Structure 1
Amino acid sequence: MDLIPQLLVNGIISGALLAIPAIGFTAIFAVLRFPNFSVASLATIGAFAGYAANVGLGLPAVPALVAAFMVAGLVGLASDEIALRPLRPYGALTAAIASIALTIVLENMVRFGFGNDLRGYDLPLVRDWRIMGVRVGPQQVQNLALALVIMAGVFAALKFSRIGKAMRAVADNPTLAELKGIDPVRVGRLTVFVAMGLVGAGGMLLGLGTSIDPLTGFRFILPIFAAAVVGGLGSIPGAALGAMVVGIGEELSLLVLSPAYKSAVGFIAIVLVLAFRPRGLLGERAY
């Protein structure tokens, strides 16, 4: 029982970081109507772009995070235009399968450029804080704060900006949105750029606390997908809520399970939630 407060804190931090790429994944599904599993490789690309900016250029974590967003967004947009957009008219399943193949290609490109070695960010070593028996690292607190700021910015943009409203309109009804003068193709491209940028930033945030390698994104794709499904595919707030459920669930599972089985918690959450709420906790396309 003494471990529960520590595990809850770890779960909240993990869930907040997981929410960023989960939001990107579900945003693409909401607007383009297919699960884009290439988010795995884009999370890796973002993590390595941030690494290159941080270690290679000597930039602090926040500017490196911006670089991760921009590089992942541009690579995601280019790869979508080249490989996935021509296949989307053939159905969601075809596009989803193609996105898995795209993941393999992009991950091997990262492996070709950086090798297979583990790499770590150049961050100052600071002693953990101990608050009421709970250990929290300053870097964890910074990562949590950055994740919350990013989420707040996404929610505000969707609710108040013209671009956000256009995305919501296309997600709800692309035909009606086009009749109202909104270009679904342009909105789709913008969605891919922003969503993949979020995935890349999320990949870097997830990698800041450990180390990164070409399979970084692949290891996180299962909890990312679980978070999106549990919250409700197409729901931005649902992705954030689902990430919290998965993150806290994975940490609390360590009370009874070996860490090797932690990744199974996401699928258990999917089964339990969908058994009672087939559309997820917040339903499809709920904003």
Structure 2
Amino acid sequence: MDAVLQALINGIISGTLLAVPALGFSAIFAVLRFPNFAIGALATAGAYCAWVVNVGLGLPIPVAIVAAFVGAALVGALLEYGALERLGRGGALMKAIGSLAMGMVIENIVRFIFGNDLRAFDLPLARDIVFGPIRVGPQQLNNLVLALVIMAAVWAFLSLTSLGRSMRAVADNPDLARLKGVNPRFIALVTVAIGSGLCGIGGTLIGLDTAIDPLVGGRVLLSVFAAAVLGGLGSIPGAVAGAFLIGIVEEFTVLALSPAYRLAVGFIVILVVLTVRPSGLLGSKAN
């Protein structure tokens, strides 16, 4: 029972880390209507921006997280404006394939600049916090709080700001939004920047929990995609719910089987959801 409870806690923490990039992925899909598979590479780019600011410049973690958002947002926006937007003329499939190719390019650029070695953030050493049979690292708790704050900020932005409402309008009906004076092309670019920035923060939080290397984002790409599919592609609340479920299921998989089977959970979830309920748990519209 102690192991089950520990796995549940670990799964909730893992789910919060997956939820941040899953929000970015779902926001991009809701507005642009294609799966941007460059999110893994954008998470890696953001993590390395944060590492440079934290370790290279000696600035604190909150500043590094802001740098991760800005760096990944710039890379994502340049990627959309410079390449993917043109590929969109060939349809969503062409754009998805292009994003996958661009992601590989970004990962190899990071590898060329920083090498393949693991790199850790400058964090103080601290003992694990023990609650009876449950053991949680202080950085895990910090990541949990940061992820929850970011999710709340995204909800507030989409619900309470004019730009957020414009994004929701374009996601629901771009033609109607255009008639009301909203520029769908501008909103699409802003959405890509915000979604990419969220992926950058997600990669940083994962790096704070462990370490980073050029494939840190690629390793969670499938889990993030599975979370978005499970919750409903384009659904913001669904991305969060799907991330928590994927995180918990993956941790229980590790509890029952070898960690080598952890990634198989994503494939199984995608297969089951697409077979039983293609729209996901909370539908396919942005909320």
TM > 0.5: yes
Q: Which residue of 1 aligns with 2:51?
A: 51
Answering whether residue 182 of structure 2 is matched by residue 182 of structure 1, we say yes
- Taking the aligned partners of 2:164 and 2:199, their CA distance within structure 1 comes to 18
1:100 aligns with 2:95: no
Q: For residues 188-230 of structure 1, what are the alpha-carbon distances to aligned partners after superposition, in whole Å with 9 as ceiling and x for unaligned?
A: 1110110000000000001111111111111110101000000
The total of aligned residue pairs comes to 287
Name the CA distance, whole Å, in 2 between partners of 1:93 and 1:269.
21
Cα distance in structure 2, aligned partners of 1:233 and 1:261: 25
Q: Normalising by structure 1, report the TM-score.
A: 0.98
User: 2:276 is matched with which residue?
Assistant: 276
Q: Counterparts of 2:149 and 2:117 in 1: how far apart (Å)?
A: 32
- State the distance in 2 between where 1:249 and 1:60 align: 33
Alpha-carbon separation, structure 1, partners of 2:255 and 2:56: 40
Q: List per-residue Cα deviations over 1:146-205 (Å, max 9, x = no partner).
A: 000000000111111101100000001101100010000110111011000000000000
- In structure 2, the partner of 1:230 is 230
Shift of 1:260: 0.7
Rounded Cα–Cα distance in structure 1 between residues aligned with 2:126 and 2:5 = 22
Tell me, in whole angstroms, the C-alpha distance in 1 between the residues paired with 2:127 and 2:232: 39
SS of 2:119's partner is coil
1:266 Cα deviation (Å)?
1.9
Letter in 2 for 1:64: A
Shift, 1:286, TM fit: 4.2
Name the counterpart of 2:63. 63
**Alignment pair present for 1:215 and 2:241:** no
Q: Residue 149 of structure 2 aligns with which residue?
A: 149
Q: Does 1:172 align with 2:172?
A: yes
- For 2:122 and 2:250, how far apart are their aligned partners in 1? 28
Q: Larger deviation: 152-161 or 263-272?
A: 263-272
- 1:60: how far off? 1.4
Q: Aligned equivalents of 2:285 and 2:61: distance in 1?
A: 33
Tell me the equivalent position of 2:195: 195
SS at match of 1:34: coil
Q: TM-score, normalised by structure 2?
A: 0.98
1:51 Cα deviation (Å)? 0.5
1:45-86: CA deviation from partner (whole Å, max 9, x where unpaired) = 001001001101111111100000000001110111111011
Cα RMSD for the two superposed structures: 0.9
Q: Which amino acid aligns with 1:262?
A: R
Unmatched segments (≥5 aa) in structure 1: none
| TM-aligned CA deviation for residue 2 of structure 1 | 2.3
Q: In 2, distance between residues paired with 1:200 and 1:32?
A: 19
Other-structure match for 2:248: 248
Residue in 1 that maps onto 2:7: 7
What is the CA–CA distance in structure 2 between the aligned matches of 1:194 and 1:33, rounded to whole Å? 16
1:186 and 1:41 map into 2 onto residues whose CA distance is: 23
The 1-side partners of 2:53 and 2:139 are apart by 18
Matched, 1:265 2:265: yes
Q: Which runs of 5+ in 2 are unaligned?
A: none
What is the CA distance between 1:270 and its match in structure 2? 2.4
Specify the alignment match of 1:131 in structure 2. 131
